Amino acid sequence: MVLHSGKTKRPHRRGGSNPLNGGADPAFAATLTPPHHKLAEDPLPADTALQLVRDELMLDGNARLNLATFVTTWMEPQARELMAECVDKNMIDKDEYPQTAELERRCVNILADLWHAPDPDAIIGCSTTGSSEACMLAGMALKRRWSKLGRSGRPNLVMGANVQVCWEKFCEYWEVEPRLVPMEGDRFHLTADVAVEHCDENTIGVVAILGSTFDGSYEPVAEIAAALDALQERTGWDIPVHVDGASGAMIAPFLDPELEWDFRLPRVASINTSGHKYGLVYPGVGWVVWRDRDALPSELVFNVNYLGGDMPTFALNFSRPGAEVAAQYYTFVRLGREGFRAVQQASRDVAMHLAGRIEALGQFRLLTRGDQLPVFAFTTAPDVTAFDVFDVSRRLRERGWLVPAYTFPPNRTELAVLRVVCRNGFTHDLADLLIEDLTRLLPELERQPRPIVDPAVSTAFHH
């Protein structure tokens, strides 16, 4: 074991020469400090190692009370059991685990159906480690498709300033100019007119977000596609749309079925989503689907042979566990359309209920109401001067609630908000408890002479 002095000492072995054959000593772990910089000389009993690591993890926040993250924090025991059984399966090894590969294929087909793919036999897609990887793959396909046009300028990608940082990473890594459309006034996301204004012959695509992480709002995908149709008629520029549906692509099919945002729009070339967000699976899985094989240049696809057949694969990662894919398929089997609708509607109902109660307090102004994504953002009312959103976030954290406070991007950096993400498992009862705690701390905050929290140490979290 490693002592605080940095020196290494051999722990006393109990129960003979085998260090893993020791008796249960309730005081043993209390004498140890786990390694911080280098391995200890000797092993520890499994129960002791478990206690040491588990004790430190108690300092983490309670995931169920984390209203900052979009990532799933609760699954049924049966799903957790299935994931434990599949955690040692390597997704890339499709010869050894052909049925896991088959479950991935079925999931892609199910998503393509949910997103109204015009020809189910023509679609192509894959699982990823999350939406960030999925967005990278979609961006690569957009750039390769543009490069085949033989244009000589620098490629650019048009998107709102509210995009997730993975898109800025894509542009940096693949040498694409990011044309980030800034927010302006009460316009907090991309709209059709400003999207078209930023396009030219070297635009590889427009990214439309179905569910902004800043406020939970949908961008008007159909209006953006129609504006690009008109642009093509005027200029000949055929600019595809990628829909970043990290969250909304698993909400809209069930709660907003009449909303046209997906492959019903011919200009939509590809869609991604996070299985581990409103796909209701624990972290580690995302999905990307292209409307047809023309949207994904063939040279980017690699074929892996298993059981005498070819399995197309297109991913940045190689080895990764199959547990999350199995869990995604379990969720599809378990819920069906009606189950998904019920779960997502419950989350939206909680979000809208909570937003309404926060507005009724009088000290806050809502930017959104949770009626698109089950997510809403709010700020302090104009006449509130004693405290700000950072004070509220800090005080809620004292009760275990993780509610992020952050400023908006350039052009609206003066706007600071709190954001609440309602997920499966966040119930009306928990929402009422949050309101009770918020109501209890407001009188104390109102007695402050001025806000006291430095925005530089805000709890910004946009995932």
Domains of the chain: 1-60 (no CATH), 77-332 (3.40.640.10), 347-457 (3.90.1150.160)
Q: Could you please report the per-residue DSSP string of 115-158?
A: TT-S-TTT-EEEEESSHHHHHHHHHHHHHHHHHTTT--S--EEE
Contact status, residue 142 vs residue 157, Cβ threshold 8 Å = yes
- Report the C-alpha gap between 387 and 398 in whole angstroms: 16
Nearest to 216 by CA among 402, 74, 431, 404: 404
Nearest to 415 by CA among 185, 191, 213, 189: 185
Nearest to 401 by CA among 37, 55, 69, 33: 69
CA separation, residue 372 to residues 222, 282, 313, 376 (Å): 16, 22, 33, 9
Q: What is the phi-psi region of residue 330: left when phi exceeds 0, alpha when psi lies from -120 to 50, beta otherwise? A: alpha
Beta bridge partners of 8: 2
- Report the C-alpha gap between 95 and 308 in whole angstroms: 9
- Write down the residue that tokens 């693949």 correspond to: 174
Please report the pLDDT score of residue 120 as a whole number.
86
Contact status, residue 363 vs residue 416, Cβ threshold 8 Å = no
- Report the C-alpha gap between 295 and 142 in whole angstroms: 8
Name the DSSP class of 449. Answer: S
Q: Three-state SS for 167?
A: helix
Backbone CA torsion sign across 372, 375, 379, 380: positive
- Write down the residue that tokens 């983490």 correspond to: 60
Which amino acid would we find at residue 290? W
Please report the pLDDT score of residue 7 as a whole number.
46
Q: Could you please report the per-residue DSSP string of 269-291?
A: EEEEEETTTTT---SS-EEEEES
Beta bridge partners of 421: 375
- Write down the residue that tokens 């939970």 correspond to: 216
Going by DSSP bridges, is the β-strand pair 375-380/405-407 parallel, antiparallel, or unpaired? unpaired
Please report the pLDDT score of residue 48 as a whole number.
87
Q: Which residues have C-beta within 8 Å of that of residue 324, sequence separation ≥ 6?
A: 83, 127, 275, 276, 281, 282, 283, 284, 285
| CA angle centred on 180, ends 178 and 183, rounded to 5° | 170
- Write down the residue that tokens 């087909």 correspond to: 109
| CA angle centred on 377, ends 167 and 194, rounded to 5° | 50
pTM of the model: 0.91
Contact status, residue 390 vs residue 380, Cβ threshold 8 Å = no
Contact status, residue 204 vs residue 297, Cβ threshold 8 Å = no
Q: Which residues of the chain have pLDDT under 50?
A: 1-17, 19-22, 460-462
Q: Could you please report the per-residue DSSP string of 144-213?
A: HHHHTTT--S--EEEEETTS-HHHHHHHHHTT-EEEEEPPBTTB-S--HHHHHHT--TTEEEEEEEBS-T
Please report the pLDDT score of residue 305 as a whole number.
67
The per-residue pLDDT for range 192-240, each reduced to its tens digit, is 999 999 999 999 999 999 999 999 999 999 999 999 999 999 999 999 9
- Report the C-alpha gap between 237 and 437 in whole angstroms: 54
Name the DSSP class of 1. Answer: -
Contact status, residue 96 vs residue 322, Cβ threshold 8 Å = no
Q: Which residues have C-beta within 8 Å of that of residue 448, sequence separation ≥ 6?
A: 386, 387, 391
- Report the C-alpha gap between 440 and 21 in whole angstroms: 53
| CA angle centred on 243, ends 241 and 246, rounded to 5° | 160
Nearest to 132 by CA among 244, 297, 299: 244
- Report the C-alpha gap between 418 and 403 in whole angstroms: 7
Please report the pLDDT score of residue 214 as a whole number.
95
Cβ neighbours around 165 below 10 Å, total:
11
